[in-house]
Amino acid sequence: MLAEDGITGFTTRKVAQRAQTSTAAVYELFGDKGGLVREVFLEGFRLLRRNLDQLESSDDPLADLVRVVAAFRLFVRDNPVLAEVMFSRPFSDFAPGPPQVAAFAPLVERVRRCLAAGLLAGDEADIAHVLVALLHGLATQESNGWLGTTQTSVDRRWALAVRATFDGLRTDRVGT
């Protein structure tokens, strides 16, 4: 429904109609619209986690981390309105709080592997937070059409940002 009707079309009444139930039943299940939005928010993170969990690991920890970046980008591109619910505050009656940390466990695990292999240096939580912020920012820019006018320019800017971040986190660069 979010994908079809957007944020403004997401009402308790419309959800009840689509579910072929009453508005009262929706309120009984979720408490209020904020509870309904919270469940959508949480389901988005569960879906993201399932997508990231499907990624295979290889002998190249950095390549595996790059695959997480690509999977995150694809998730946001395929689910722009859901991503807006997950990473923004589109509903006044719902304050989402921080992203659900468990969804990013595959990213943290790959950061940890890069640290263990000596490919990156720093604190794994700090690196994970920086990567999530970077990815969210890039994905938002891409979704809004602000990252470029051609797919080539958008892809180039994604690659530049990710490469620059990884270069800045290399063991021989951290602290300089």
- Asked if residue 147 belongs to a domain, the reply is yes
Task: Give me the number of domains the chain comprises.
Answer: 1
User: Which tens digit of pLDDT belongs to each residue from 110-166?
Assistant: 999 999 999 999 999 999 999 999 998 999 899 889 999 999 999 999 999 999 999
Residue 118 CA to residue 126 CA, distance in Å, equals 16
What CATH number did the domain enclosing 94 receive? 1.10.357.10
- Asked if residue 176 belongs to a domain, the reply is no
- Asked if residue 97 belongs to a domain, the reply is yes
Q: Which domain holds residue 118?
A: 33-168
Can you read off the two tokens belonging to residue 95? 């304050």
Closest CA to 73 of 5, 147, 7, 127: 147
Q: What is the mean pLDDT of the chain?
A: 88
